[in-house]
Amino acid sequence: MAEKSVPERGAAGPLVGLVFVSHSADIAAGLVTLARQMAPTVTLVAAGGTDDGGIGTSFDKIAAGLAEADAGRGVVLLCDLGSAILTAETALDFLDDEARQRARLADAPLVEGGVAAAVAAEIGGDLAAVVAAAESAGGGSAEPEPVEAPAGGVAQPVSRTVILRNRDGLHARPAADFVKLASGFDAEVTVNGKDAHSLLGIMSLGLTRGMSVEISGPDERSRAAVDALADLIETGFGEE
């Protein structure tokens, strides 16, 4: 059976689940542990290694993982090597039509894509959004769309600059908290030029304690988000 980590279900209902397929049981299980730090309520399933515990992949583990991770909103699979993809595709082919429509194989790196997908699922993203988050791990963030100026005036950017106080910098857990908060606002916001909704983009900044962090938005519609995110950084994310 696939190794499973299943959280309690909250009032908001089920989330998109994830299955991590690796040739190594230890790698798949370790990724579940890592992603759990940022996605505590997502169903994460480790489908690593062969049935007898060796190096390789198992059709039965992947098939069981698909069934266990799908609570109704779908499941996304991420794989490490080419033969893992072939085994995963075979498992998908054996699903019934309804279940197959709710399952996607992401073309993404296992670790980076898995972490990004877990955060997207945690904040309630649908199947397409979780796949897109995973696959964004292979490239840079998109350029922000131009903001239309209000009638009779020019859009005025808003920004705040704060100092990062966390001893260990903006590492994975606080970065995930930051992205979750940003996703609660329907507003375009950047962090030192990176999209505030992109976990990997923010982590790529390498922000450490004492560094300046500029939270910016294109106009007044972003002010509430800018202030909330700047306030979160100033609190130290509860890690001080």
Q: What is the pLDDT of residues 98-135, one digit of tens each?
A: 999 999 999 999 999 999 999 999 988 999 999 999 99
Structural domain boundaries enclosing 207? 158-238
**Residue 62: pLDDT over 50:** yes
User: DSSP code of 229?
Assistant: H
Per the CB < 8 A criterion, the answer to whether 189 and 236 are in contact is no
Per the CB < 8 A criterion, the answer to whether 61 and 77 are in contact is no
The dihedrals phi and psi of 79, each to the nearest 5 degrees, come to -125, 160
Domain count, the chain: 2
Name, in order, each residue with C-beta under 8 angstroms of 233's C-beta and a sequence gap of 6 or more: 162, 164, 165, 178, 213, 215
- Mean pLDDT for the stretch of residues 1-20: 64
pTM of the model: 0.74
Please give the Cα distance from 224 to 217 (Å, whole number). Answer: 10
Please give the Cα distance from 202 to 175 (Å, whole number). Answer: 7
Structure tokens at 55: 């190096």
Residue with more model confidence, 204 or 150: 204
Indicate whether 115 and 59 sit together in one domain. yes
Answer whether residue 146 is part of any domain: no
Residue with more model confidence, 83 or 152: 83
Percent with pLDDT over 90 in the chain: 64
Instruction: Say whether 52 sits in a helix, a strand or coil.
Output: coil
Indicate whether 25 and 84 sit together in one domain. yes
- Mean pLDDT for the stretch of residues 208-224: 94
Catalytic annotation, residues? 23
- Mean pLDDT for the stretch of residues 144-164: 71
Answer whether residue 65 is part of any domain: yes
Q: What is the length of the chain?
A: 240
In 123-214, alpha helices (H): 127-135, 172-182, 199-203
Indicate whether 174 and 68 sit together in one domain. no
Indicate whether 91 and 178 sit together in one domain. no
Please give the Cα distance from 40 to 37 (Å, whole number). Answer: 6
Among 138, 172, 196, the domain boundary falls at 138
Indicate whether 96 and 29 sit together in one domain. yes
Per the CB < 8 A criterion, the answer to whether 188 and 197 are in contact is no
Indicate whether 11 and 127 sit together in one domain. yes
**CA 166 from chain center: how many Å?**
22
Indicate whether 62 and 167 sit together in one domain. no
Here the CATH number for the domain that contains residue 106 is 3.40.50.510
Answer whether residue 46 is part of any domain: yes
